[in-house]
Each structure stands twice: as C-alpha cells, then as structure tokens.
Amino acid sequence: MLEIKANDPKLQSFIKVDKDSHFPIQNLPLGVFSDIEEDFSRRRIGVAIGDYILDLKAAYECKLLPDFGLNFSQLNNLNPLIEHGRSKVRTLREVVSHLLNKNTSTLRDDVVLQKKVLIKQSNAKLYLPIEIKGYTDFYSSREHAENIGRMFRDKDNPLLPNWLHLPVGYDGRAGSVVVSGTMIQRPNGQIKPSSNEPPIFSASQALDVEIEMGAIIGLSSKHGQVIDIKNAPEHIVGMVLVNDWSARDIQKWEYVPLGPFLAKNFATSISPWIVTLDALEPFRVPSPKEELKLLGYLKRSEDWGININLQFAIKTPKSQTAQIVSRTNFKYMYWDMMQQLAHHTVNGCPMATGDLLASGTISGKEKDSFGSLIELTEGGKNPLQLKTGETRIFLQDGDIAIISGFCQGQGYKIGFGEVLGEIVSMSTKFKEGNVQRKTVDENAK
C-alpha cells in the first residue's frame, strides 16, 4: 500500500469539520459545481471540505495553486485532470491538503481570500463530475448472484458455470447516467404478467434499486492494449456511489438471450463527489477467498477489497425522514475492480478517460445486508414493513431511494455523501436535481 501524507489521521483543517462529516481533510474528493443561482454553463471543479467547497478555478486565479499544465479557469468537468492518471490527482490532493491545513496561514489568516475561494455546499449546485464515455456494469457479488439464482434458476446450484471463473458484466448506456438528485422516471416497456397471455405495454410495476460502487477510469488505454492487473490501479483514479435502477418485470421478459435492455438503460444514478483511490488506501482489505484457481490474467497481485460501509434507505411521501432498510459493505465483493478492469481489456477493448465501471449489486450474507428490494423481499413474498405502517415490495411514485457510504477512520470518516433519486411517473416533467440534504434517520431501521 502507498504511504500518502494527505492520509495522515492526525491532520486537521482550519475549516471546522464535524466528526461525522464525510468530507474531512483526509478525503478531499473532487466534483463539479456552480453557485446555486447559476446555470449549467457556469460549472467549475472543486474539492469538498466539511460543509464547504474549495473552488479550484478561484484558487487558481488567486495563485493558490501551482501550474499543473491545466487551466482551471476553463475546466467544467474533471476529464482533463484525471486523464493523466493518479499521479497528477495525487499531487493536486497534496497541494490542497497543505492549503487547508490548520498550520498553513496562507488561506487560514486571510478572510477576504476565503470568501473568494470557499463556497458553502448548501449554496451550490452539483453536476456529473465527469464526461462519461462508456459504462460497464458487473455482477461481482457472490451473495447477490446466488440470491438471484435461487429465485429464478436452480436453488441448489444458483451460480451459472462461468461465474467463479470470470467477472460477468455487460456494457450499459453511458448517456443515461445522471447525478444524484435527478428525478427517476418510471420506465415503460413490455411486461408479461401471465405465462399464458401475450406481453403488454406498461409502466414498470417492479422498479428496484441496486446498491453499487463505481470505479472511474482516468488513464486511458488504446485499442488493442491489454491492461495487466498489476497496472490496473494506475488507471482508476477514484470511486463513486452507484444506484443502477432496475425494472424487474421488464427485465424478466426481455433479458433472454442478450441480457437487460429497457429494464436498465433508462437511468443509472451516481454520487457527485469522486473519492480518490489514494484517500481509500488505508481501508484496503482482502477480498473473499477465491474458490477456484483462476487464469493468470485474473490472479490478484495485491488486495483491493475496500471496507466501505453502505446503507440503503427509503423515504416515502408519508414519512418525515428516510428509513434504513439495508446495510452492506463493499468488502464482500468476490471480484475486485482490478480484476474487472483486467478482464474488460484482455481482448484489447480500449478504456477512455471518464469510463464508469460499476461493481454490480453488493449484498452480504444476512438478509438485512442484501443490496436490492427483490432480495430484501424474497421476490415479493415478504414485503418490507415501514415505520409509517406502509409496506413496499418495489418503489412507488413519490418514494425517494437513498444510498450512502463511508469508510470509518481513526476519529474521521472518508465518505461519498449520498446518491438519491425520487421516483416519478413518465408524465412528470424531468428535472436534473441537486438534493444535498440529510434525509436519513440513522436509528430508523
């Protein structure tokens, strides 16, 4: 593992940061924002610190940042920064860490300068942090794959023959990846309510969530280039939360033989802040033990399981706060993101800066650690009982689904914030949202 100065648990910022904040000085995730009254054209990049954003455009113009070979005044997404890989991102994080350190006087003692470069997160709009060139969704949680396999295939042999040999995945729709807070329109498609009747055209009645994490590609690769698993960490600059919404009834009818289509391509939500792989270094843990001997290109050279606590909550129109219905952890993943990237490129498939590789639904062994509603309700046999007296098998219009995640450090958290979406009917006007509020009652499970 790398020894990184900006990860020192003793570091403190001159900006007051609550111990439960997801954004202490040890994190410093990257995102794209504008002032709340500004429009899309005024986007610029920033770093989250506590309840604030350090405006990198303003900091650059105030000569608080060295020349990285980048004009921060012109950047409206992170692609030009992350295309250089982890090294340039690491250098920027070290510079920002020093600037925000309580022992550095430059910004700490200049209130006028602070007003120029710091903005409250509550006064900002957040956007997709990257231009997403390609999107791949994997199926890498053994517990999830077994749960689904028992429901729809073979209770005694739930995994398909290939599952323990390779990280199963498919290419999704990059154009429908949206930032947290964007309304999620209930998708239409063909469903087949009865095996004895022809399919009908309908809005999905089985809209589900999938608790996932996403790896962000920085350093690209050329067509024909194979990324060795040992070099894979240099290509991934950070991670985001992912909710890969799923219309289970549409998927059930359409997925044979080529896999999901309309059931998945209508929306995938990601959190707005990219937490760097460097910030996650202290939380690396071994992945579950591999059951079978793997082919050489998939053999791990180091551990890339990460101890990320994840939770999923639902807020209904009748509730004041959201109720947590599942807690799981990224460390349960059987296939890690470096294996996923090595497999993705072993045939020479090129990777582009901004590509998103989603983990697939993350489930643990216990029922309350399952990563989707179809698992939590056992396919609808046992509806969730909410504290409002309501029940849920799948999401209803007006429900807000919220996924959050963090790593627990020594007196601090390295967090991702939230990825949330409100379910609306197709007749509702689409809105690109920016809901950044504390909606989860931590004791409401």
DSSP 40-101: GGG-EEEEEETTEEEEHHHHHHTT-S---S--GGG-SSSHHHHTT-HHHHHHHHHHHHHHHB
341 and 302 fall within a common domain = yes
pLDDT of residue 391: 98
| pTM value surpassing 0.85 | yes
223 and 200 fall within a common domain = yes
pLDDT of residue 438: 40
73 and 187 fall within a common domain = no
- 129-163 in b/e burial notation, b at 16+ Cβ within 10 A? bbebbbbbbbbbbbbbbbbbbbeeeeeeebbeeeb
- Separation of CA 254 from chain center: 26
**What CATH number is given to the structural domain containing 161?**
3.90.850.10
Catalytic residue among 22, 144, 235, 343: 144
148 and 167 fall within a common domain = yes
277 and 347 fall within a common domain = yes
Q: Looking at 127, 159, 192, which one is the last position of a domain?
A: 127
Range list of H helices, 135-232? 142-152
Q: Is 144 a catalytic residue?
A: yes
SS3 content of the chain, % helix, strand, coil (to 5): 25, 25, 50
Preceding peptide of 383 cis, ω within 30°: no
| Count of the separate structural domains present in the chain | 2
pLDDT of residue 433: 53
370 and 265 fall within a common domain = yes
pLDDT of residue 287: 96
pLDDT of residue 440: 44
CA pseudo-torsion sign 10, 440, 365, 288: negative
- CA 433 to CA 184: how far, in whole Å? 10
205 and 242 fall within a common domain = yes
- CA 377 to CA 180: how far, in whole Å? 25
**What CATH number is given to the structural domain containing 12?**
2.30.30.230
pLDDT of residue 430: 53
Q: Looking at 104, 127, 150, which one is the last position of a domain?
A: 127
Length of the chain: 445
297 and 254 fall within a common domain = yes
pLDDT of residue 295: 98
Q: Looking at 127, 147, 182, which one is the last position of a domain?
A: 127
- CA 417 to CA 311: how far, in whole Å? 11
pLDDT of residue 39: 87
- Please name which of 243, 286, 245 lies closest in space to residue 262, comparing C-alpha atoms: 245
What residues make up the domain containing 76? Answer: 5-127
59 and 189 fall within a common domain = no
pLDDT of residue 3: 76
- Positions in the chain short of pLDDT 70: 1, 428-445
CA-to-CA dists, residue 144 to 54, 170, 373, angstroms: 39, 16, 11
- Please name which of 54, 177, 89, 93 lies closest in space to residue 127, comparing C-alpha atoms: 177
88 and 140 fall within a common domain = no
152 and 266 fall within a common domain = yes
78 and 159 fall within a common domain = no
pLDDT of residue 387: 96
pLDDT of residue 431: 56
